[in-house]
Amino acid sequence: MDLLQAFCRDLGITEWHLEPLEAGDGPFLAGRSAKLLVRGTWVGCVGELDPQVSMSFDLRVPISGADIDIDELESLIEDPVG
């Protein structure tokens, strides 16, 4: 969560929140993952990979990750540099 907060802060994103991710929404484990919404728009997912996904890649430990649509995110925020 700290990395996500830092990511949003560094991009100047103040209007963001997380919502629970349902089972079957990508490779993430329900109950340990969430949708990332910026200004009410779903821009990605964060959380723990489903163990079946991890096992299919021969990964033996819980793995966390994120999938963020940069094009969608870019359309919702101002350029933090410009």
Domain ranges across the chain: 2-76
Across the chain, how many H-helices and E-strands are there?
A: 3, 4
Provide the pLDDT for residue 52: 86
Residues 17 and 39: beta-carbon distance below 8 Å: no
Provide the pLDDT for residue 55: 86
Provide the pLDDT for residue 62: 87
Q: Using CA atoms, how far apart are residues 6 and 21, in angstroms rounded to an integer?
A: 21
* Domain 2-76 CATH (choose: 3.40.640.10, 3.20.20.70, 3.40.30.10, 3.30.930.10): 3.30.930.10
Tokens of 49: 């990979």
Query: Which of the 8 DSSP states describes residue 27?
Result: T
- Give which of 15, 41, 22 is closest to 33, Cα–Cα: 22
**pLDDT for 23-69, tens place per residue?**
766 788 888 999 999 999 999 999 998 888 888 889 888 888 899 99
To the question of pTM greater than 0.85 for the whole model, the response is: no
